[in-house]
Structure 1
Amino acid sequence: MSMQLNEENGGKLLVVHVSGKLVKADYEQFVPAVERLVRQHGKLRILFDMTDFHGWEASAAWEDFKFGVEHFADIERIAMVGEKQWQHAMATFGKPFTKAKIRYFDHADAAEARKWVDEA
């Protein structure tokens, strides 16, 4: 699995590129980065680029669930950019687990996703 984190807009936007299958160790990088940015800036905005993403191993799915519970109110907006129908469904499934506004965008609409996640 590959996860790349890029901070933008002075750290208020976290761009997360995921590919392959997430494993528990990926959350050991992701969670501290989010927690640090929340301490520095308050609520965050996240852009998930899920190009070539294939899901989670069981231990990573548990870490993802725990992250959602622990950071329920720390994220303001989540733009999810993907290429598969199940990724679109995942955006809908995640809505009860966060206060964030969540929108799914097809990979072809990545520029629109960035505009939406950045808008005031």
Structure 2
Amino acid sequence: MSITRHGLFIGIERVGGDFFLSLKAVGKLTHEDYEKINPMIDSALEGVTDPKVKVFIDGSELEGWELRAAWDDFRLGLKHGSEFDRIAIFGNKKWQSYAAKMGSWFIAGEVKYFEDANAAIGWLQT
């Protein structure tokens, strides 16, 4: 029996004295995933009064998005883009570096792609 996992895992991570919103994307994201994800992200960011949120995204197991889910992701970026100071995207696929560049057009802070998770965390700490 084959199990297909997909979705987005959300957490708060602490490295040293710094806190990050930590996201791990797995599989091919669907519109239904975003119907569950968006309220969780809204809730996680609701109490933030200082719009200097740093985000670590682990896309190493991300296969992509269904078309409608890609639109949902775009809308999520527009809604919360001004709240992010830095977004580090850790991945292992060339298209992810292009997605990071496109995402930076809609985010007030910096977005950078990394192929090394430790380098991504280090950049967030600067």
Q: How does the TM-score come out when normalised to structure 1?
A: 0.86
From 63, 70, 89, the counterpart of 2:79: 70
> Displacement, 1:25?
2.1
Q: How does 1:44-83 map to 2 (within 5 A)?
A: 44-83=53-92
3-state SS of 1:87 partner = helix
Identity %: 33
- Which 4+ runs in 1 deviate beyond 6 A? none
3-state SS of 1:71 partner = helix
3-state SS of 2:88 partner = strand
> For 1:64 and 1:85, how far apart are their aligned partners in 2?
19
Tell me whether 53-62 or 29-38 shows the greater mean CA deviation: 29-38
Higher helix share: 1
- Structure 1 equivalent of residue 25 of structure 2: 18
- Structure 2 equivalent of residue 2 of structure 1: 7
> For 2:11 and 2:81, how far apart are their aligned partners in 1?
21
3-state SS of 1:73 partner = helix
How much is the aligned-residue C-alpha RMSD, in angstroms? 2.0
Structure 2: 5+ residue stretches without partners: 1-5
How many matched pairs? 117
> Displacement, 1:18?
0.9
Structure 1: 5+ residue stretches without partners: none
| Contact map agreement 1:80 1:91 (CA 8 A) in 2 | yes
Question: Structure 1 residues 35 and 118 mapped into 2: Cα distance closer, same or farther (>3 Å)?
Answer: farther
| Contact map agreement 1:51 1:81 (CA 8 A) in 2 | yes
> For 1:80 and 1:3, how far apart are their aligned partners in 2?
14
3-state SS of 1:41 partner = coil
Q: How does the TM-score come out when normalised to structure 2?
A: 0.82
- Deviation per CA, 1:4-48, whole angstroms, max 9, x where unpaired? 1111249x5211111210111222333223222322123421111
> For 1:18 and 1:58, how far apart are their aligned partners in 2?
16
